[in-house]
Amino acid sequence: MRIGVYPGSFDPATLGHLDIIRRASKLFDKLIVAAMVNGEKRSSFTMEEKVDFLKRMTCDLPNVEVESFSGLLADYVKEKQACAIVKGLRAVSDFEYEFQMALANKKLNADVDTVFLMTEQKYLFLSSTIVRDIARHGGDITGFVSEEIRDDIMNKLDQAK
Ligand code: PNS
């Protein structure tokens, strides 16, 4: 069985993430979406919230599983016997950081490769940071995140509420 791992901060997951999940789920027998800790970023949502959002967004995708993990990605991938890490790339600006992480993960676990999926053009502008910023100011995040989780994001972040 070919298993892929799609890791990320997902703070919160966006429609751009969902697009990568849908497309990657067709490339593997099983895709594990792993909510993880990025030591460089402070999270607005708890791990439980992130996992709950991701599960609700992906409930129509039978070969997608959602988990959280707080250790090293390279160890997690080994434990799950996955053959690849999946990452989405939006622009050249993502590349340097992603390239660095892919090489570090390869060094830590020589058996695993990172595969990159290019974002769909319509999601080029989208990021969790932008979603959080719009939500905090009471803006409309329809079309940025799944309908299923939109109200929960607004309830948590909208400072005007
Ligand atoms: O969505 P992000 O913030 O780009 O995801 C980054 C993430 C969470 C995948 C990365 O920070 C990570 O792999 N964290 C787990 C700890 C780890 O393995 N760090 C070394 C990466 S080379």
Rounded Cα gap, residues 3 and 5, in angstroms: 7
Which amino acid is it at 13? A
Q: Any idea of the CA torsion for 142, 146, 151, 153, to the nearest 10 degrees?
A: -100
| Annotated active-site residue in 9, 44, 128, 146 | 128
146: Cα within 13 Å, side-chain hemisphere: 20
For residue 83 the two structure tokens come to: 């053959």
Per residue in 41-90, pLDDT (tens digit) is: 899 999 999 999 999 999 999 999 999 999 999 999 999 999 999 999 99
Which pTM was predicted? 0.96
Rounded Cα gap, residues 51 and 36, in angstroms: 10
Q: What is the pLDDT of residue 91?
A: 82
| Mean pLDDT over the full length of the chain | 95
Whether the CB of 128 sits within 6 Å of ligand 1: no
Task: Note if 90 is an active site residue.
Answer: yes
User: Is-cis flag, bond preceding 12, omega within 30?
Assistant: yes
**Which positions ≥6 away from 101 have C-beta within 8 Å?**
87, 114
Instruction: Kindly give the residue spans of alpha helices, DSSP state H, lying in the chain.
Output: 15-25, 47-57, 73-79, 92-108, 128-136, 147-157
Q: What is the pLDDT of residue 33?
A: 98
Closest ligand 1 atom to residue 73 Cα is 18
Q: What is the pLDDT of residue 160?
A: 65
Per residue in 86-141, pLDDT (tens digit) is: 999 998 888 999 999 999 999 999 999 999 999 999 999 999 999 999 999 999 99
What region does 114 belong to: left with phi over 0, alpha with psi -120 to 50, or beta? beta
For residue 103 the two structure tokens come to: 């090489």
Tell me, in angstroms, the distance from the centre of ligand 1 to residue 21's CA: 17
Q: What is the pLDDT of residue 70?
A: 95
Beta carbons of 20 and 119 less than 8 angstroms apart: yes
For residue 65 the two structure tokens come to: 């599983």
